[in-house]
Chain A
């Protein structure tokens, strides 16, 4: 085990250190003897340092522990400024030698003196909360989510695994949070294990919460709505209520599509977004309700009372983005959400009879699926779609509704295809070339691609400068007493 666990300081390291200390020719035997002793001392001191870590009640060994251990052994500790975190070794080789070293930057003292003082850290404070009330952990932000995300997977988990006190004697007020009661069938009948029927009873508080949130989400007061959505996006204890929320969304969309109530549909989609943003929830089991609702908001023929005036396009964009996120987060080999959605979209595009708004939705949906989908499914269609747009805009029949639709489709295609084209198509961008490749949309596309290229370049530039700036901000100037820190 000594070979595996404990690496030794090698004689070569000792020689390198000696060299950097000004001793040119260290005899091999001396180096070996020193290496052995250095190894022993290092290990001894490390073992002492671990004691300090344990008494500091930490999992991580710190440099201060090491200093204290040195003090314990009557060795002069390292004086000077300390780095909080570890400084990684840099590696260099050349002339047949390999070196590991610390990169020590020279720091201009003037910079440190003239630098603005860092913000004064907040004072230590003491805050109390209920970790448990009579053996039940309340679902408050201070406590971790009642059921960790991983456990929400297991649908057949025994009721109330977490913090399950007596509960069955009926002395407890019914329906405490974090508890699902077993009802009906006994769980074991003649050796056959039956899954207990779980009914999720919501406590009075949860019912109130549910009502408040749903009312606020679809109500008229924008500030309340923002608060409610914030709560949905951050509260850790909601997993018991997701089934209700997903049903609420599903039913809400069904009713409001029929009534073409654009505002409500937008509110519902924002709820979905908030639920998806909540890192403690696992929506996967409720996708069967959520996805149709979202898909409806992308593809439905009519989402508003006056299609010529109302901006239902924004809703379609928003919902398409949500769908894209869902595909990224939840798509797996088993549910195949991404491929199934892509199929739905392409089917609509192939169908010549499909409504223009629906077409727009399908295009938006595809565009949000990511670069690969845009490249393989959208760009080949550019020519065909371009012709359609041209026909609608310049065609003999002047229909304002169709015309706006065409404009939106054109804008959408330009917006999403240009950045992808800028990446995959080698320059220079030639108007004629684009015209032949993409038909009607070619010239416009070309202009957009040029713009996109410029933007990308700018972004790259900015990225480098900002990282440089960030680096200079992050690296607080620290002084270090120069010491030999070379290990080969």
Chain B
């Protein structure tokens, strides 16, 4: 994505997801030989244009199509809509699918597959598991070739015979695959598009690779060889072959593992130096309170000094990303949160957190999203009937601002001007926000608690003012459901991601995205902004977690290991570790420095929808629709790897022994845990909707 403008054009023009991924793959100059790499840009554009026109035509958007034709100075296609477009379509399709054209003896595919699998079975134990990864992609591509070449019966037989041998976590994709039974159905199937346009990535040691090559030389299965060449990417590394656990830990993603070079870029995961804040107001505050306060104040000063002195070598330079200026109110906010932080309860193995659980009762519509503000004073719930409701969790009730004429009469120099701007008469416990036209899938408060973002099935992201409780901006761009939206920790920026497989970075004052993060093979299901605002982590239903650099839009980490869609992410407070969880009921812990898997935490019995690190990062809380909150001892993992931190060359995931990471499990009566949040004082807040049996 060197040129963001172009991406915008491409993606905005062609809303069709398949077109996006196809085009994106082309632009990325992926190693897809037939189409992308060798062709010159002008031809590329022609292809893209053709695809866009085709899409418009298919969706009967005639005016748009005519306009685009005029712009591109192409002959009007209306005259011969029957003939030429048919030709064009079939040309397009055949181009796209020609990878599966094969003259080989298709009937012998069963034989080939059997031979390969028996070779793997009989190979040395050391290589067996690495080579075993070959079977799944080979199986898929053989099946697709059979289908494409109209051997439906053989394809069916082939599928039934070997699909049961595949690993459990592939069964979901296999189900999708099994519905594709004819050549015609291969077009327009998202999974199919992914398989044909991208290579399946495998990693194996040199030794394993050698033994594979020997096998291929001995048995001259030309078809097998061509599949390996065309559709697989084998990333060979030097070292000891991985064992079964290691292979399994990182497999599971839709398109295989991450390439080794995908995680080589240095990530500046450190936190930047806190800016110097001198707020005189703070001292006054402390002075009033009494005798024993000075001691505390000193402590706090120390803390401030410490923070200032420590310059994290991994921190990005402060000017790397232009961030909004800190306003006085923001500085005050920071001081207050530090003060709160002083009263923090240290958590750990010996001290488990207290959990305050908020239950939404009488919600006749399902609650699909819950968000809590950073300082734990506000809670927003998104409902499936497209409403959003904001509650106050503090004694402070929610008020709107006075109207303009009243505001005019206020003395603007008054000290308590902020208080006076609010209309006391409007105080309420909760406010209802109407505007979306579909289920609301996520809510996110701005750090200053003046704005709220929501995303919905209707394809929009909406920005709401919490002063007037009205809709300020509708961000359109995702034309498909937007699954998640999140404010950056500094405000102004936010990221959204949805069914169109793209994560977009926005500024609140712009209605066009600033960056587009393209690369996921399936829906972007969840997003977390890095604490230093320089990176964005996304989880996807292609079962990978990716990390994107906000500066240049590059994907800097790809992490594979989940066996089903990822639905929630959480950053450790120091910005180095990332936790992810989802439908596969496991919580995975990643080290962003090297992009490696640290630990796997099993225990939930239903999909997990919320994760949260405690404020000092020693404990991880997870919650899901199995109605339980589980507390994990991640400090133990961090300590364990601290000893072996110099293993930068550690390529393989060396899982920390996770025998007893689970510290506690707390069940609610009948309330799924949709949101977990640690307050500044390390009180854990949970929220969900009570479900009548």
Residues of chain A at the chain B interface (Cβ within 8 Å): 1-3, 5-6, 36, 39-40, 43-44, 47, 51-52, 54-59, 64, 68, 72, 74, 121-137, 142-144, 162-163, 165-166, 169
A72–B353 CB distance below 8 A: no
Per CB-CB distance, the 3 closest pairs between chain A and chain B, nearest first, are A135-B352, A131-B355, A131-B357
Interface residue from A126, A163, A165 paired with B430 (Cβ < 8 Å): A126
- Chain B 573-615, CB within 8 Å of chain A: the 1/0 string? 0000000000100000000000000000000001101000000
Residue of B nearest to A132 (CB): B355
In the complex, the answer to whether B360 meets A3 with C-beta atoms within 8 Å is no
Q: Which residues B167-210 have CB closer than 8 A to chain A?
A: 171, 174-176, 178-182, 185, 189
Chain B residues with CB under 8 Å of chain A are 59, 156, 159-160, 163-164, 171, 174-176, 178-182, 185, 189, 349-364, 366-368, 379, 381, 384, 389, 391, 430, 438-439, 441, 457, 480-481, 483, 499, 523, 525, 541, 565, 567, 583, 606-607, 609, 625, 629, 631, 663-669, 672, 674, 684, 686
Look across to chain A and name the residue whose beta carbon is closest to the beta carbon of B690: A127
Contact of A51 among B523, B606, B667, B672 (CB under 8 A): B523
A64 cross-chain contacts in B, Cβ below 8 A: 384, 439
Q: Which residues of B contact A36 (CB under 8 A)?
A: 181-182
Task: Determine the residue in chain B with the shortest Cβ distance to A124.
Answer: B363
Q: Is the Cβ of B176 less than 8 Å from the Cβ of A47?
A: yes
Specify which of B185, B355, B631 is in contact with A40 (CB 8 Å cutoff).
B185
- Once bound together, how far apart are the Cα atoms of A165 and B391, in whole Å? 33
On whether the beta carbons of A137 and B439 are closer than 8 Å, the reply is: no
B361 near A124: Cβ-Cβ < 8 Å: yes
Cβ of A55 to closest chain B Cβ, rounded Å: 5
Q: Are A144 and B565 in contact (CB under 8 A)?
A: no
* Contact assessment for A127 and B359 in the assembled complex, using a CB-CB cutoff below 8 Å: yes
Between-chain CB contacts (< 8 Å), 25 pairs: A43-B179, A47-B179, A54-B567, A54-B583, A56-B368, A56-B384, A57-B625, A59-B606, A68-B438, A68-B457, A124-B389, A126-B358, A130-B357, A131-B355, A131-B357, A131-B668, A131-B686, A132-B354, A135-B663, A142-B357, A144-B667, A144-B669, A162-B665, A166-B349, A166-B350
- For the complex, give the distance between the alpha carbons of A219 and B674 in Å: 46
Q: Complex: how many Å from CA A191 to CA B305?
A: 57
Contact B179 A40 (CB under 8 A): yes
Given known contacts A58-B625, A127-B358, A127-B361, A132 and B441 CB-to-CB distance under 8 angstroms: no
Instruction: Find out whether the CB atom of B353 lies under 8 angstroms from the CB atom of A135.
Output: yes
A166→B352 CA distance, assembly (Å): 9
CB A41 to nearest CB in B, in angstroms, measures 9
Query: Are A142 and B669 CB-contacts (below 8 A) given A72-B481, A130-B354?
Result: yes
CB of B541 within 8 A of CB of A51, answer: yes
Flag if A135 contacts B664 (CB, 8 Å): yes
Chain A residues in 8 Å Cβ range of B381:
124
Q: Are A121 and B159 in contact (CB under 8 A)?
A: no
Residue of A nearest to B174 (CB): A1
Interface of A is mostly: mixed
4 new A-B pairs (CB below 8 Å) besides A57-B625, A129-B357, A130-B354?
A: A1-B171, A52-B457, A131-B668, A134-B352
In whole angstroms, what is the CA distance A64 to B365 when docked? Answer: 12
Residues of chain A within 8 A of B356, CB atoms compared: 128-131
A137 touching B666, Cβ below 8 Å:
yes
Q: Which of B156, B164, B175 has the most CB of A within 10 A?
A: B175
Do A144 and B366 form a contact, CB below 8 Å, given A58-B625, A165-B352?
A: no
Judging by beta carbons under 8 Å apart, are A125 and B361 in contact?
yes
Q: State the Cβ distance, A113 to closest chain B Cβ, in Å.
A: 23
Query: How many angstroms between the C-alpha atoms of A466 and B667 in the bound complex?
Result: 40
Within the complex, the shortest CB–CB distance from B393 to chain A, in Å, comes to: 8
**A59→B670 CA distance, assembly (Å):** 13
Taking the closest CB of chain A, its distance from the CB of B483, in whole angstroms, is 6
Q: A2-B160, A163-B664, A165-B663 are in contact. Are A134 and B351 (CB under 8 A)?
A: yes
Partner of A5, one of B175, B389, B674: B175
Which residue of chain B has its CB nearest to the CB of A129?
B357
Would B438 and A74 count as touching, CB distance under 8 A?
no
Residues of A within 8 A of B164 (CB): 1
Q: A268–B379 Cα gap in the complex (Å)?
A: 48
Q: How far is A49 from B663 in the complex, measured between Cα atoms in Å?
A: 36
The answer for the CA separation of A54 and B384 in the assembled complex, in Å, is: 13
Residues of B within 8 A of A144 (CB): 667-669
Task: Assess the B366–A123 pair: CB atoms within 8 A.
Answer: no
How close is B67's CB to chain A, nearest CB, in angstroms? 21
Determine which of A39, A56, A57, A125 lies in contact with B179 in the assembled complex, contact meaning CB atoms within 8 Å: A39
Name the one of A47, A74, A163, A166 contacting B175, with C-beta atoms under 8 angstroms. Answer: A47
Q: When the two chains form their complex, are residues A126 and B359 in contact, meaning their CB atoms are under 8 A apart?
A: yes
| Distance in angstroms between the alpha carbons of A36 and B179 in the assembled complex | 10
Contact of B629 among A44, A52, A58, A131 (CB under 8 A): A131
A54 and B565 within 8 A (CB):
yes
**Do the beta carbons of B361 and A143 come within 8 Å of each other?**
no
**B653 → chain A closest CB, angstroms:** 26
> B205 to nearest A CB, angstroms?
32
Bound-complex Cα distance A2 to B179 (A): 8
Q: Which residues of B contact A130 (CB under 8 A)?
A: 354-357
Which residue from chain A places its CB closest to the CB of B667 in the assembled complex? A144
CA distance A109 to B359 in the complex (A): 39
A132 to B347, CA, bound (A): 14
> B368 and A55: CB pair below 8 A?
yes
B356's nearest neighbour on chain A, judged by CB, is: A128
Docked complex Cα distance between A188 and B179 (Å): 58
User: How many Å from the CB of A106 to the closest CB on chain B?
Assistant: 28
Residues in A whose Cβ lies below 8 Å from that of B359:
126-129, 142
